[in-house]
């Protein structure tokens, strides 16, 4: 990550101007991010797909101020996100499919989820003062962006997680807080005989899940159930229960209670899989998890990132044994057997 301590050796001699420059680079890190996110919100890359427009042409299409539009477009060129020939702007060919919203390979939805996080993060000083997360109305569009982010994460890491999980032979799987269905779909596609129950309470995300499940012709094998997994019946007789990026949403007591319910839902010999960003014992590494813990601070009343030791203790407390931890990139998979 730009501006991380790993890019500067603070243990040896260092010039003060270099140190000041490093600190400033961290403070200014929001600027290029905001330029990209604003471009995505205007769908500039989508408008330029197979097109080449002048400032005035783009400003007319976006209903924006021409002067401000030109300044934004020139910055995008400087960041190597657009091309400029004369007075006309066009997409960088290698990036067009990733950033144009309508392209089937686009990651624009996942990046717009980051744009949704922007407002929360801008209240971080208030949040640290009060200890209360920032609340705002959640819209179907925002759920769609979250679903895109979950799908992108699944595409990057889910295959390796499933190989490490070793669920061959399992007949029934519970996807706890399965949201948009990315995890359920991935497991169902990998294990053709697996029956899956996706359990979540977010109606907007479940609408997305049902569409995605149907798109993959898996409606007969993935049942979508709406409910609160802390109080409603989540079923029983499962061989596997998966919690993908779920425990970071809640506090210690809630996670302990949830894992107790998960344990009760499993058949003897059943396996719990916890897939999440996890911290070391100092709670300061890795950097991505430490920063994501702040994201959870802005978004949830009690959530944060946890260490694998904390998670192991919860699993042991509720009756799981044979607990294993498998690091995969920046994520960890912790498994426990009933």
Helix (H, G, I), strand (E, B) or coil at 80: coil
- What is the tens place of the pLDDT at every residue in 26-71? 999 999 999 999 999 999 999 999 999 999 999 999 999 999 999 9
pLDDT number for residue 154: 76
pLDDT number for residue 152: 83
The Cα–Cα gap between 161 and 180 comes to 18
Instruction: Specify the pLDDT at position 153.
Output: 79
Contacts of 70 (CB under 8 A, 6+ apart): 55
> What is the tens place of the pLDDT at every residue in 225-262?
999 999 999 999 999 999 999 999 999 999 999 999 99
Q: Beta strand 266-279 with 331-337: parallel, antiparallel or unpaired?
A: antiparallel
315 sits in which H/E element: helix 308-317
pTM of this structure: 0.90
**Residue 295: per-residue pLDDT:** 96
The predicted-structure confidence for 173-208, as pLDDT tens digits, reads as follows 999 999 999 999 999 999 999 999 999 999 989 999
Q: Which tens digits make up the pLDDT trace of 83-126?
A: 999 999 999 999 999 999 988 889 999 999 999 999 999 999 99
Q: Between vectors from CA 197 to CA 187 and to CA 224, what angle results, nearest 5°? A: 110
Q: Inform me whether the pLDDT recorded for 5 exceeds 50.
A: no
Q: How high is the pLDDT of residue 16?
A: 75
Cα distance between residue 267 and residue 236, in whole Å: 7
Distance between CA atoms of residues 295 and 136, nearest Å = 15
- Whether 163 shows a pLDDT value over 50: the answer reads yes
- Kindly list the structural domains of the chain, giving each domain's residue range(s) and its CATH number in brackets, ordered by start: 5-104 (1.10.10.10), 157-337 (3.40.50.150)
**Length of the chain, please?**
338
Confidence category of residue 170, pLDDT binned at 50, 70, 90: very high
**325, exposed or middle or buried, with CB in 10 Å at 0-12, 13-18, 19+?**
middle
pLDDT beyond 90 at 137: no
Residue 267 has pLDDT above 80, yes or no: yes
Residue that wins the pLDDT comparison between 135 and 224: 224
pLDDT of residue 2: 39
Give the mean pLDDT of the chain: 93
How many C-beta atoms surround the C-beta of residue 252 within 10 A?
14
- Note the pLDDT tens digit of each residue in 295-310: 999 999 999 999 999 9
Query: What is the pLDDT, as a whole number, of residue 54?
Result: 98
Q: Residue 149 — pLDDT band, cuts 50, 70, 90?
A: confident
Give pLDDT, residue 8.
65
Model pLDDT, residue 3: 40
- pLDDT score of 151: 82
């Amino acid at each position: 990550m730009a501006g991380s301590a790993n890019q500067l050796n603070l243990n040896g001699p260092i010039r003060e101007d270099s140190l000041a420059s490093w600190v400033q680079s961290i403070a200014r890190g929001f600027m290029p991010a905001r330029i990209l996110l604003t471009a995505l919100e205007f769908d500039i890359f989508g408008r330029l797909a197979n097109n080449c427009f002048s400032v005035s042409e783009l400003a007319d299409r976006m209903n924006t101020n021409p002067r401000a539009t030109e300044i934004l477009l020139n910055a995008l060129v400087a960041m190597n996100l657009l091309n400029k020939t004369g007075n006309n702007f066009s997409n960088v060919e290698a990036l067009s499919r990733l950033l144009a919203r309508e392209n089937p390979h686009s990651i624009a939805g996942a990046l717009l989820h980051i744009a949704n996080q922007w407002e929360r993060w801008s209240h971080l000083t208030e949040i640290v003062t009060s200890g209360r997360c920032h609340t705002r109305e959640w819209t179907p569009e925002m759920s769609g962006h979250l679903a895109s982010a979950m799908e992108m994460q699944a595409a990057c890491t889910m295959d390796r997680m499933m190989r490490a999980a070793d669920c061959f032979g399992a007949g029934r799987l519970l996807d706890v807080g399965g949201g948009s269905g990315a995890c359920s779909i991935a497991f169902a596609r990998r294990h053709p005989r697996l029956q899956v129950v996706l359990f979540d309470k977010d109606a907007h995300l479940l609408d997305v899940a049902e569409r995605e499940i149907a798109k993959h012709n898996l409606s007969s094998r993935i049942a979508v159930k709406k409910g609160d997994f802390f109080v409603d019946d989540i079923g029983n007789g499962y061989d596997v229960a998966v919690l993908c990026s779920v425990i970071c949403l809640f506090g210690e007591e809630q996670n302990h209670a949830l894992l107790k319910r998960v344990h009760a839902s499993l058949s003897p010999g059943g396996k719990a899989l916890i897939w999440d960003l996890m911290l070391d014992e100092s709670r300061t590494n890795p950097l991505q998890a430490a920063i994501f813990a702040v994201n959870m601070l802005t978004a949830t009343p009690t959530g944060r990132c946890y260490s694998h030791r904390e998670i192991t203790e919860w699993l042991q407390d509720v009756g799981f044994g044979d607990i294993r931890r498998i690091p995969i990139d920046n994520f960890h998979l912790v498994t426990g057997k009933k």
